[in-house]
Amino acid sequence: MTGEQTGAIESDTEAAIREDHPALITYITAGDPSLEDTKEYVEALDRGGSDLIELGLPFSEPIAEGPTIQAAINRALDAGTTPARFFELVDELETDAPLLVMTYYNMILQYGSEPDVRPFVERAADAGLSGIIVPDLPAEEADPLRDACDDHGLDLVFIVAPTTAGERLNRIMSQVSGFAYVQARLGTTGARADVSNATHDSLTRLSAYDVPKAVGFGVSEGDHAAEIIDAGADGVIVGSALVDIIAEHGTGDAPAAAALESKARELKRGARRGGEQGNGHEQGREEAPEPEQP
């Protein structure tokens, strides 16, 4: 894909969402509680039906995260997770679901010997990652990373907040590739008990843009997933609810992997249920394929 313009052809990330629509996107923090465990957990999430898997590369000041993921990040940092070790893990992983890395701009800038985004992007592409999500990189400052990702065939996913509208929304949607990460509510990440009205509003605002929309922040149960898909999303993103499962189990604990796999199945079933009901699809996606039966 090197040198191809994004959008000209469908990327791995976008294909993964469209092929098994509606999609389940799962997140865990790499190195929580150790990189060996992460390998097992990623494989479990892959078996459980994840269509994409986001791996958090821990950074010491994660300003977009709530307490659950901050705690996971601290555990991962305490376990000695570094970018170098993170990439070694990704080198080893073999999953059906494409993998994305979610991290902060600081980690990307500081990866090489000089402040520059390219060494990180090159290494990410070498390791077989499909895309990058950077919560603290605004679209206005994204050109260098966008160019580097284009050169290496990586998607660059942007977050759309309930407060994002007008010209800012246009600017973000002109930079985004793979999918738009729709933040369901204000505040930081974390499992919540209900699905926000802001989700419905955001999906309505985004309906005019031809890029898959996946909703995250606060999704923890199959029923949430169903409701979000009903509201017109192409996928759901689940993080804190999975990190909670990891936090409840210790290191090297096989039941954690089993519980993650089973949670993924519940969420994927929920997403499909939403897809089957089909009500609420006012936006009318053209090419939504029939969901496979489990």
Q: What residues are labeled active site? A: 54, 65
Contact between 258 and another protein (CB under 8 A)? no
**Contact assessment for residue 219 and residue 228, using Cβ atoms and an 8 Å cutoff:** yes
Nearer Cβ to another protein, position 185 or 272?
185
**Contact assessment for residue 222 and residue 269, using Cβ atoms and an 8 Å cutoff:** yes
Binding segment for another protein (CB under 8 A), chosen from 125-133, 182-190, 225-233, 249-257, is 182-190
User: Distance from CA of residue 27 to its chain's centroid?
Assistant: 6
**Least distance CB 109 / another protein (angstroms):** 6
Nearer Cβ to another protein, position 91 or 141?
141
Binding segment for another protein (CB under 8 A), chosen from 37-45, 92-100, 180-188, 234-242, is 180-188
Q: Considering only residues 84-113, where is the footprint of another protein by CB under 8 A?
A: 104-106, 109-110
**Least distance CB 114 / another protein (angstroms):** 8
**Least distance CB 141 / another protein (angstroms):** 6
Nearer Cβ to another protein, position 11 or 70?
70
- Per-residue contact string for residues 129-168; x = within reach of another protein by CB under 8 A: ------xxxx-xx----------------xxxxxxxxxxx
Query: Distance between CA 286 and CA 15 in Å, rounded?
Result: 15
Question: How do strand 99-102 and strand 131-133 relate by DSSP bridges?
Answer: parallel
**Least distance CB 134 / another protein (angstroms):** 9
Query: Angle of helix 35-47 relative to helix 240-248, nearest 10 degrees?
Result: 120
Number of Cα atoms under 13 Å in the Cβ half of residue 169 = 17
**Contact assessment for residue 54 and residue 93, using Cβ atoms and an 8 Å cutoff:** no
Contact between 223 and another protein (CB under 8 A)? no
Contact between 64 and another protein (CB under 8 A)? yes
**Contact assessment for residue 173 and residue 31, using Cβ atoms and an 8 Å cutoff:** no
Query: Distance between CA 147 and CA 172 in Å, rounded?
Result: 15
Query: Distance between CA 207 and CA 199 in Å, rounded?
Result: 12
Nearer Cβ to another protein, position 62 or 274?
62
Exactly one of 38, 50, 81, 188 binds another protein (CB under 8 A); that residue is: 188
Exactly one of 115, 250, 252, 289 binds another protein (CB under 8 A); that residue is: 115
Nearer Cβ to another protein, position 95 or 106?
106
Question: What separation in angstroms does the CA of 253 have from each of 38, 40, 74, 92, 221?
Answer: 12, 10, 19, 20, 23
Exactly one of 67, 252, 255, 289 binds another protein (CB under 8 A); that residue is: 67
Number of helical (H) and strand (E) elements in the chain, helices listed first: 12, 8
Query: Distance between CA 102 and CA 97 in Å, rounded?
Result: 15
Exactly one of 4, 9, 36, 63 binds another protein (CB under 8 A); that residue is: 63
CB atoms within 10 A of CB 113: 7
Contacts to another protein by CB under 8 A: 60-64, 66-67, 70-71, 74, 104-106, 109-110, 115, 135-138, 140-141, 158-168, 172, 183, 186-188
